[in-house]
Structure 1
Amino acid sequence: MWDANRLRIATDAAGVALWSWNVDTDAISMDERAHDLWGVPSGPVTFTDLSANIHPEDLDRVRAAFASTREVLGAYEVEFRILCGKEVRWVSARGRGDDQGIVGRIMFGVFLDVTERKMAEEAREMIAGEMGHRVKNLFSIASALAMISERSTETSKEMSEDLRLRLSALNRAHDLVRPMAGDPEKAAHLADLLALLLAPYAGDGAGGDRVLVTVPELIVGEASATALALVVHELATNSIKYGALSTATGTLDVSCVADDREAVITWRERGGPEVIPPKGNDGYGSRLVTGAVSGQLGGSIDFEWLSEGVIIVLRIRKAQLGT
């Protein structure tokens, strides 16, 4: 029943490529499917010939595995990458060691193209790594916002409400940028993001006349939105405690200019108590802001401590802002 023709039909259906190896001459014979998989012309080849197509990062590992196949007890499998022009394929080479199934001086095995499976595995690993990174970031953000809330409130109830408002604003900010990858037309604009983040600090929940945001049409990505949110929360907290937003008549003006290289955001406070420049080492808040701007936003931040109101200038790489 299982003649050569039917076996070939079965192997074709399974996508199996066949090879044989003469252990004395090192000659490797492959069927047509195997030659197509490796991208080599028909005819006998040697491991040295095939090595030219093995990915350089995998070559030493595959060479060692090939040299030890006859000593392996039972079945073995080696997975590695091969190069076919600019295309990278994953191959699974399978056989039996310890000279099991050897006929004369020839051993037999199969090649399987496992590219799709390996790509799926890499995608899952990438997603898992990204999820882990995002979870760590969320914990860092929550911790930073909790510290900001702690410094800007006096009772646990006030802190709870303050933190809830900050997290709610941050969540809505992420809602703005989340569709960006799938639909660039719905990407977040800097003006919307700043207005949303500053709403909890304006007193009436809508911004009113105390907070004015004037910025050009700039797109903000998810990672930058998170960093920018931390900076805005910290600057607004300081304004509520010591600056313009600590008085009923104080105002905050946030503006921005941009060129091809960078966006310059200016935070200008007026109408608050007389500004006293800080002395001594930077506190946690200053380190938080500086770290977020220089690290995640690839920019810089400068403070001008004018008596009538502080002016803060954030310089952000324009390319970084959209990530």
Structure 2
Amino acid sequence: MTNRFTMDEQAFALWGLPWSDEVRFEQLSAHIHPADRDRVRAAFEATRSVTGSFEIDFRIMVDDSVRWVSSRGQGADSNIAEHTMFGIFLDVTGRKQAEEGNELLAGEMSHRVKNLLSLAVGLTNLTYRSAATTQEMLTGLTDRLTALGRAHDLVRPLPGAEGKSVLLGDLFSILLSPYDDKDAFSGRIRIAVTRMGVGEECATTLAMVIHEMATNSVKHGALSCKEGVLNVTSNVDSEFVVLTWAETGGPEIESTPKLTGFGNRMIERSITQRLAGALKYDWQSTGLVATLSLRKDRLAT
């Protein structure tokens, strides 16, 4: 058996190769994604000795794009005809992209559910510490959980939305209202941001960021205790809106935390990729000060 192939025109088009009478495995291998190359070579060698059907999915590089290919056929001498083995290449890029999207969605949903349960516990403890009677605790907890439900509606795209914008200050107020102390004179969450509209697409992404940062604060930061205070302010220039998230009064920060969780990766990806912005953390001993720099033109989308 040799390493030579004969392929039809569709196969050459799939691999992005010019037509020729035959092609060698080494020529195809040069187009296989480096991360898959050794695995595909081992599978190709195995077809010479393993009897029966085989199937392997792998990535190939065509110009600047990546395609997923499924190679299927019969190994060893199964159904061999005139010393020739037969197989097919299928373009399964669409299926693979759908699978990756489903995996990402499943991971995000799992993370979201765990966060909601943690938040419910945190809000229960917060309400218990500030309530004087059982009825006061019931009312306070019900109000906070209802507000959390309203906030959660903003961290997912809604079907049939009309693209209407929301004011930046209202977005913060709605999302952070479940964690405020309604009994305090001025509240422990203070929002003073520029009056400007935020487009639907950006509002959904920014809502996810705010929700995630609030979750982290309830777990570890200023919003985890009654004495904690959160200030959200903004500065605007010709190109950027700079938001400052400043926490004080929470547990003392003794060292810089390692941000490796799904939620923190989601925050970073959302700000840098979806909002074309930048995020900077300043872990002061008195609390986190985070600076979010966002392009004004992107906020309007």
Could you say whether these structures have the same fold, taking a TM-score greater than 0.5 normalized by the shorter chain as the test?
Answer: yes
Deviations for 1:190-221, whole angstroms, at most 9, x for unmatched residues? Answer: 24532774597456xxx9x9568542136561
Write the distance in 1 (CA, Å) between the matches of 2:50 and 2:152. 54
What residue number does 2:10 align with? 33
What residue number does 2:126 align with? 148
Structure 1 residue 315: Cα displacement = 4.5
- Equivalent residues in 2 for 1:228-239, closer than 5 Å: 229=214, 238=226
Structure 1 residue 88: Cα displacement = 1.2
What residue number does 2:29 align with? 51
Matched, 1:78 2:56: yes
Off by >6 Å, runs of 4+ in structure 1: 180-184, 301-304
Write the distance in 1 (CA, Å) between the matches of 2:246 and 2:38. 56
1:168/1:228 CA distance change after superposition, 3 Å: farther
Deviations for 1:68-109, whole angstroms, at most 9, x for unmatched residues? Answer: 102222111111111111121111111111311222322111
1:98/1:229 CA distance change after superposition, 3 Å: closer
Asked if 2 retains the 8 angstrom alpha-carbon contact of 1:58 and 1:81, the reply is yes
Asked if 2 retains the 8 angstrom alpha-carbon contact of 1:299 and 1:317, the reply is no
- Equivalent residues in 2 for 1:1-323, closer than 5 Å: 23=1, 25-42=2-19, 43-176=21-154, 178-179=156-157, 185-187=164-166, 189-194=168-173, 197-198=176-177, 201-202=181-182, 214-217=192-195, 221-227=206-212, 229=214, 238=226, 256-259=233-236, 260=240, 262-264=242-244, 283=251, 298-300=280-282, 314-319=289-294
Secondary structure of 1:100's counterpart equals: coil
Structure 1 residue 179: Cα displacement = 4.6
Write the distance in 2 (CA, Å) between the matches of 1:101 and 1:254. 73
Secondary structure of 2:81's counterpart equals: coil
Asked if 2 retains the 8 angstrom alpha-carbon contact of 1:201 and 1:236, the reply is no
Write the distance in 2 (CA, Å) between the matches of 1:54 and 1:112. 14
Write the distance in 2 (CA, Å) between the matches of 1:112 and 1:82. 12
1:303/1:76 CA distance change after superposition, 3 Å: closer
TM-score by length of 1: 0.64
TM-score by length of 2: 0.68
1:159/1:303 CA distance change after superposition, 3 Å: farther
Instruction: Give the unaligned 5+ runs of structure 1.
Output: 1-22, 244-252, 269-277, 305-311
Secondary structure of 2:86's counterpart equals: strand
Asked if 2 retains the 8 angstrom alpha-carbon contact of 1:264 and 1:313, the reply is no
Larger radius of gyration: 1
Instruction: Give the unaligned 5+ runs of structure 2.
Output: 258-263, 268-278
1:303/1:238 CA distance change after superposition, 3 Å: farther
1:41/1:316 CA distance change after superposition, 3 Å: same
Asked if 1 retains the 8 angstrom alpha-carbon contact of 2:175 and 2:207, the reply is no
**What count of residue pairs does the alignment treat as equivalent?**
258
Write the distance in 2 (CA, Å) between the matches of 1:78 and 1:319. 43
Asked if 2 retains the 8 angstrom alpha-carbon contact of 1:262 and 1:317, the reply is yes
Write the distance in 2 (CA, Å) between the matches of 1:138 and 1:75. 47
Write the distance in 2 (CA, Å) between the matches of 1:228 and 1:70. 55
Structure 1 residue 300: Cα displacement = 4.5
Asked if 1 retains the 8 angstrom alpha-carbon contact of 2:169 and 2:191, the reply is no
Asked if 2 retains the 8 angstrom alpha-carbon contact of 1:266 and 1:313, the reply is yes
1:65/1:237 CA distance change after superposition, 3 Å: closer
Supply the RMSD in Å over aligned alpha carbons. 4.1
